[in-house]
Amino acid sequence: MREQIEIIVAEDNVVQRAYMCRLIENVGFDFFKVLEAEDGAVALELLKTSRAEILITDYQMPRLNGVELTRAVRSLDLGRYIHIILITGTETGDYGVRADALDAGADDFLNKQDDPTGLKARLTTAMRLIDHGKELEEQHRVLKEANDRINEDLAAAAHAQRNLLPDINTDILGAHIASAFVPSSVVSGDMFGCFPLNDSQIGFYAVDVSGHGIRASLLSVAIGYLITPEFFVKSVLDEDGIPRPARLVRELNARFCTDVHDDYFTMFCGVMDTQRIKVFYCQAGYPSPYYVDAQGNVTRIGSGGFPVGMFGDADYEDGVIGVDLDGMLLCCSDGAFEAENDEGIPFGEPRMEKIVKEIYRDPADKVPEKIIKALADWRGRKPLEDDLTVVAVKRNMK
């Protein structure tokens, strides 16, 4: 059996009110519970204290008339919809009143002279609308519950992803490494790592999976788990301990190439060798990092390279540069260059180079946050469209 719907009947004439109540009970005594109000003000109070969902009100009443009552009900925040039926004279006779009532928020009208079938038809309509409203409410509740659960899962995934990343600030073998990691949604398709390979070499990599969001993050996290320091040492260092980062990239390319989907990733990986005072690197479609020497001269490292997982027969090259004691290596994912301002103009390389020149003397731990800040200022209110990673490596200790 369905729950009873409470109906308020607002009517100052006692006889009329009793008559209306009887009519409603005749329509369906089981469906409705009738609450009586002798004027508009009483009806308004009753609405606040009851669970009434239908209001049948006379137009002419002392204190609040039917239209004023309607307006007052619509300004209340009851958390449920009140279906309002106004009793007036005929449509033609009370045209002005009906127009005012519609404006105030009335749903339906009943002629004073109507027979009981008119009332029954209107109550049926009201119940149909109320049922529909409840169905929507239930659907909304179910969707919200599902949405909350997804968001909780995502937050947990984001937390797990962050735990894979190195500390934001860390010293390895006399080099200072600082980073910033800003996902465009909760989880990110970016990934990076940095670790000592032995007592004189530091391995590092940055990865940017195509696309962004959950799908990209699945692959980025898989890569994060795969590239352990042991994996890095085994695939990068040759028999003489000389770093060959292209070997690692080739290995990843063989592993991730498939015709099943179009996912791929760009990558920059390298080894900072503190004895040879060099950085050995391999670039695989990742934006060329900046190298700033002790005098502040800025160069871009690498001329390009195939992304990983796109073409099975792609080959990769090793590169090498010397690094000054105070030199800084700076990797930014393409999300940095592509960040657009309100007018749709990307931040671009010239602006990035200008900032790099301004901040290269700062300690490494200040560099990523300053770049993030400059990009935030540039974007204004525009949200980040792609994941953003900035990693600064500075050799500033002997």
Partner 1 sequence: MIHSTQTDDGIIIVRPGVQRLTAVNSKAFKDEIVALIDAGNSEFVIDFTSTTFLDSSGLGALAGVLKKIGHRGDLAVCGLGPDVMQMFTICRMDRVFSIYPDEAAALRALSEKS
Q: What are the residues facing 273 on neighbouring strands?
A: 201, 278
Residue placing its CB nearer to partner 1 in the complex, 6 or 263? 263
Rounded Cα distance between 282 and 318, Å, is: 5
287 binds partner 1 (CB under 8 A): yes
Residue 193: enclosing H or E segment and its boundaries?
Answer: strand 190-196
β-pairing, 169-172 with 175-182?
Answer: antiparallel
Residue placing its CB nearer to partner 1 in the complex, 25 or 353? 353
263 binds partner 1 (CB under 8 A): yes
Residues 169-228 binding partner 1 (CB under 8 A) are 208-213
Shortest separation between residue 218's beta carbon and partner 1, angstroms: 15
* Site stretch for partner 1 (CB under 8 A), options 37-45, 67-75, 119-127, 297-305: 297-305
* Site stretch for partner 1 (CB under 8 A), options 81-89, 95-103, 143-151, 304-312: 304-312
Rounded Cα distance between 257 and 261, Å, is: 9
Shortest separation between residue 211's beta carbon and partner 1, angstroms: 5
Residue placing its CB nearer to partner 1 in the complex, 287 or 327? 287
Which phi-psi region, left, alpha or beta, contains residue 135 (left: φ > 0; alpha: ψ -120 to 50)? Answer: alpha
One of 270, 305, 327, 368 touching partner 1 (CB under 8 A): 305
One of 145, 167, 262, 358 touching partner 1 (CB under 8 A): 262
Residues 330-369 binding partner 1 (CB under 8 A) are 334, 338, 346
Query: What percentage of the chain's residues is helix, strand, coil (to nearest 5)?
Result: 40, 25, 35
266 binds partner 1 (CB under 8 A): yes
Residue placing its CB nearer to partner 1 in the complex, 105 or 213? 213
Residue 25 identity (one-letter amino acid): E
β-pairing, 83-88 with 108-111?
Answer: parallel
Strand order in the sheet with 328-332: 169-172, 175-182, 388-395, 328-332, 290-292, 298-300
Shortest separation between residue 306's beta carbon and partner 1, angstroms: 5
Rounded Cα distance between 33 and 24, Å, is: 9
Token pair, residue 47, equals 């609405």
* Site stretch for partner 1 (CB under 8 A), options 101-109, 243-251, 308-316, 353-361: 308-316
The contact set with partner 1 (CB under 8 A) reads 208-213, 259, 262-264, 266, 285, 287-288, 303-307, 310-311, 314, 334, 338, 346, 385-386
